Structure 1
Amino acid sequence: MRRYFISMCVLVFFLCVSQVCAQASSTGPCPDEKSLTPKAKTALAEAQKLITEKKMTQAGKILTQFVSQNPDENHAFVTYTLAACYLDLDKLESALKQYEKTIDFCPVYAPAWQNLAKVCFDLKFYNRAGMALEKAWDLTGRKNHLLRFQAAAAYLSGKEEQKALPILADLCSGKAGPPEDKWVKLFVQISMAEKQPQTALKTVERLLGQPDPKAYLFRLASGLYLDLADYRKAAQNLEAYGLIETLNRQERKLLADLYANLGIPALAADNYQVLVTAHPCCGLWERTAACWFEARDYDKALKAVQKGLEAFPLSCRLWRIKGWIHYEHKEYRPAAQAFGKASGLDHNDINSLFLHGLCAVGPGTGLRPEKPLNRWHAMMGIKPGHWGLSMKWMRKISDHYAVAINHRVENAKSL
């Protein structure tokens, strides 16, 4: 069974960076505006005015000069605002140092941790960005779940899947409220990539058990069951998804292949028929005809064969299926001709060569079987006229065909 992969989603990482002092955002005793000296307040006021006017370079110079001239009067608000200036000017290394100083002054200042994460992410320090975001989430009362999701995104960008997975599992557990769709999709994606589909499947099945589940959950469940090699449940969930949303070509092909491999040819043929109608190709006509034939719907099989041969007359497989259809109807002359065409297109197709000769023996064909049977005898290394071995070969072909058909019919009944 061909494994079906869900493509890796693009992680978009964006943090809103405050360029003002944001005193109200602090959850701890610092930074404290009261502890600002008059000189520091004056420098910040001048810098803030320039920031409002989008004059970041001048604002940065004022704060840098203040820090240089008054090293003992440095403050978290000063370094935080200076960091914002550097960040706006895309001086990431300088911004990083100032955010680090801000955190040294005030370790519980959540905006500083959040903006530190932004800078670290831009500098590709992904693991550190993730840790900073988790710290910001913790300092803001563990209620801003977007910060946790962004932390997981940062870890994933740094190829730290094992750090991201527990965060995503917790976000999707329901503890943080109803999970967002993007959380669930990413959780499933990473669980499959880390070969832990069973973990994500429990979450998806729980969500599917709730009233009015969203359609995408059936699609995710199908992919997870496919990853677990439970092809029947993979097909069932993909079929359910198709009842709500229109399957794209790739999904329709997957569903058809699943049914074909499960031995449910009628349902496979239905889906191949949709595909081949929209995008005719030789392989799809062959699969459609073969599945209708295995489902014992010989009329639909013949129609598929005829349409396929109109476009692809050199398809050995379509001619062979045509021969079997006529053989089932005891129409030995057209059966012999079809098998003869198949063996002529593929000189290694000894079964079609043998059936060409066998059907030519049938009543009322008016055909001579000697030539194909003698060729078959020569290919098999059997002396001409040794009909005992010929009949044994025919029984072998017929028995194999009958077992395959009956197996697929029973599978269809048990669906």
Structure 2
Amino acid sequence: MLDYKNIRNDFPILQREVNGKPLVYFDNAATSQTPQQVIDVIVDYYSNYNANIHRGVHRLSQEATDKYEEARLKVQAHFNAKFSHEIIFTSGTTHGINLIANGFSSILKKGDDIIVSALEHHSNIVPWQMLCERTGASLKVIPMNKEGELIMYDYDNLLSTNTKLIFVNHISNALGTINPIEYIIEKAHQVGAAVLIDGAQSCPHIKPDLQALDVDFYVTSAHKMCGPTGQGMLYGKEAWLKKLPPYQGGGEMIAEVTFKKTTYADLPHKFEAGTPNICGGVAFGAAIDYMNSIGFENIAKYENELLEYATQKLLEIEGLRIYGTSKHKTSVISFNLDGIHPYDVGTILDKMGIAVRTGHHCAQPIMDFYGIPGTIRASFAFYNTKDEIDTLVTGVKKAKMMLM
């Protein structure tokens, strides 16, 4: 049983006011809030062992190195990667996607196909378009239906021996749809294609088992998981990571440098050029510890209760439409009020201390599919409450009355 009252005490920001009202934070799909336990780790790093890693023989460097690599082991264990060197620390999901896109520039050629889905964030569209421009490969799209689900029949028909790469988000950031990635991965491997899964929206809610999924690449961001911004991870199967060239050149990623030739370091350092976000890595490990202490089964169950409650209450408002009605979704509700621009609603809600996201949510093709400029997105986390949802409903009703 999740004790949300005590959990809320772990988050200092939830105690503040916005515009004279208690903060109601429903923008968790953009970034989650950070508990005191993780903040303390950040303060401890800069207060007691701030130093560059892997390169120093002095005590601070050794301590920082140990903490950083301990965090990598925590990430490995959490996601059930086979080897710790399959975990590459990045600045976030976008960095991880671009790293793989850059690597495949040397592999793809004209006549090859890559596949994305209609539900993707721009970060999982634009890098592949750029990859196609560089290589001559073709980009194909798995279409969606009005419920916000991918059409698997069309996915099957897109697959061929020319398919080399497939990129799909685990959960849609705009609609909350949970995609059937197990099916997508299995079918892709049958034609010899590799699969990258964007896990930015899934990892705050569920605990992916990367070996069970048999996925080739998986990316996520720490700031979606109660961790710091500017930190993330890329998982790649060892065989693939050894095959791909380095993404950046510099210190740390080398074995030996001469003016005639440079040889590269072993995994994971081959892909970690320069001084990393050391504190971010350590704090990422602390955030994983924190979320596991609550339990992902508890998190999923409670957030589903919030989703069902909010869906019921919002649909009682006349003229409110929810976009993304899949039976398999997480705690995200995108909605609009008939005849009212989402930005105007969001502005009024902010005056009431309610933080929601408005716009296309970096998923403009989804909005084009529905023929709308954007939505109001309320995204819930395990530290939110039904009372806060009631406040949101009241706020939406007030906005409707003021704007009609």
More strand by share: 2
- Give TM-score scaled by structure 2 length: 0.22
More helix by share: 1
Larger Rg, first or second structure (1 or 2): 1
